Structure 1
């Protein structure tokens, strides 16, 4: 497939994830603007409060990326047949099935959200369900893709399951959520798509530029069927450790990005620093009590008894005088 294919796939996933995340933030801005309208029942307030449609958010980029995957899979399929590589041709059929399913999702989303379409009466959960099937099929494709058990590329494919799982659970959460949590589900899926894109880029750089580890070589059977083998057992474990370290760096980048997005969303939702003015630290009510001590009631009683005894002794001495 080449580094160009991985770069296009990674860039496409990252753009779609960023586009969907920014669409969610834009929906919150519209919702906050509608809350400022003194007449919430006005048509302008209802338009601002309505969620953004998928036509302007992700259906067109998803369709374009799916077309590119389909074209690349068809070309690689015939290339594998010419090379008499049955494994490579079967892998391209799996990729083709996933790409077609995402293309169906993009087309169906566009038709459902189009005002002049006959599909406008269909519920939006239908498109979300198709998207869920696409992510599940993609998960199974990477989970079952074990061309060579000793190939180090399998470690990269196993780590790819993490962002795909994030997209799967976010889509399931979107199916069972209300209008408010619906946006959080889309935001989580957007972050998962960005992580998929950056990891695609990392796989392309590691596989096709020789920057994976020492003593590991690239072996290509056909355009879509390759493996990376290491010489010794120690080289194999070192390559796996480097892959895990690379993924941790990508994951840390996503944590920073998610924190930044959460800060923006919290600001748009009105969680300003003024809300913390009512916070009172523990023990603040004891600040004005200057006579506060740790003496117990029993110690006070013992002290009073001693004072009484001393007064009685003094009175006895004075009476004898």
Structure 2
């Protein structure tokens, strides 16, 4: 709500930037609330962290693209209104082009953050991952089964064939 009310131009290029920022803020808020219910969830923590990083990066992109005259889309210009500068476009075509460009930048930035997060995760797993196998080789397991079979046969011999075999399990 704060970002929606903060925007001076809800229909123009600035409004598009702020609307996309509101999506990221919603993801951050949702993941924070989910983090209360699922405090040990890796996915919730990862999404929250990445959405906060994304918010900061998107605010930087907004700052450069909205208030740097060389980065303003074709057909748009900075206009001084009510004491602050607002990006205005010449017509509907220029406005649609500018909004499409904002959406493309948002998508590119999302892809960049996803690639960086994946690369960081792979790097951390390479450096700090567990290289040990968490299974027992089959040769050791087969020998353990042979020992258990011999133990069962010994109990049968001691107790006799007419009684039920007692399975002795040792661990």
**Which TM-score band (shorter chain)?**
0.5 to 0.7
Deviation at 1:264, TM superposition (A): 4.2
CA distance in 2, matches of 1:215, 1:273: 60
Residues 212 and 242 in structure 1, CA contact (< 8 A), matched pair in contact too: no
Deviation at 1:146, TM superposition (A): 4.9
Deviation at 1:201, TM superposition (A): 1.3
Matched residue, 1:259:
118
1:144-293 map, 5 Å = 144-178=5-39, 180-181=40-41, 183-210=42-69, 211-221=71-81, 225-264=84-123, 266-267=125-126, 268=128, 270=130
CA distance in 2, matches of 1:273, 1:248: 39
Deviation at 1:255, TM superposition (A): 0.9
- 1:227 counterpart SS class: strand
What is the RMSD computed on CA atoms of the aligned residues? Answer: 2.6
The Cα offsets for residues 97-117 of structure 1, whole Å up to 9 and x where unpaired, read as xxxxxxxxxxxxxxxxxxxxx
Residues 10 and 16 in structure 2, CA contact (< 8 A), matched pair in contact too: no
CA distance in 1, matches of 2:109, 2:132: 31
Question: Which structure dedicates a bigger proportion of its chain to helix?
Answer: 1
CA distance in 1, matches of 2:113, 2:13: 24
Deviation at 1:167, TM superposition (A): 1.1
1:1-321 map, 5 Å = 140-178=1-39, 180-181=40-41, 183-210=42-69, 211-221=71-81, 225-264=84-123, 266-267=125-126, 268=128, 270=130
**What is the TM-score when the length of structure 2 is the normalising length?**
0.66
The Cα offsets for residues 30-82 of structure 1, whole Å up to 9 and x where unpaired, read as xxxxxxxxxxxxxxxxxxxxxxxxxxxxxxxxxxxxxxxxxxxxxxxxxxxxx
Residues 75 and 89 in structure 2, CA contact (< 8 A), matched pair in contact too: yes
The Cα offsets for residues 274-298 of structure 1, whole Å up to 9 and x where unpaired, read as 67xx9xxxxxxxxxxxxxxxxxxxx
Residues 150 and 229 in structure 1, CA contact (< 8 A), matched pair in contact too: no
Larger RCO: 1 or 2 (CA < 8 Å, sep 6+): 1
- 1:166 counterpart SS class: helix
User: Which ranges in structure 1 are unaligned for 5 or more consecutive residues?
Assistant: 1-139, 279-321
Deviation at 1:212, TM superposition (A): 2.2
Matched residue, 1:103:
none
Matched residue, 1:76:
none
CA distance in 1, matches of 2:99, 2:33: 31
User: Which ranges in structure 2 are unaligned for 5 or more consecutive residues?
Assistant: 138-171
Question: Quick one: structure 1 residues 188 and 273, their matched pair in 2 at CA, closer, same or farther if it must change by over 3 Å?
Answer: farther
Deviation at 1:258, TM superposition (A): 2.1
Report the number of matched residues.
Answer: 133
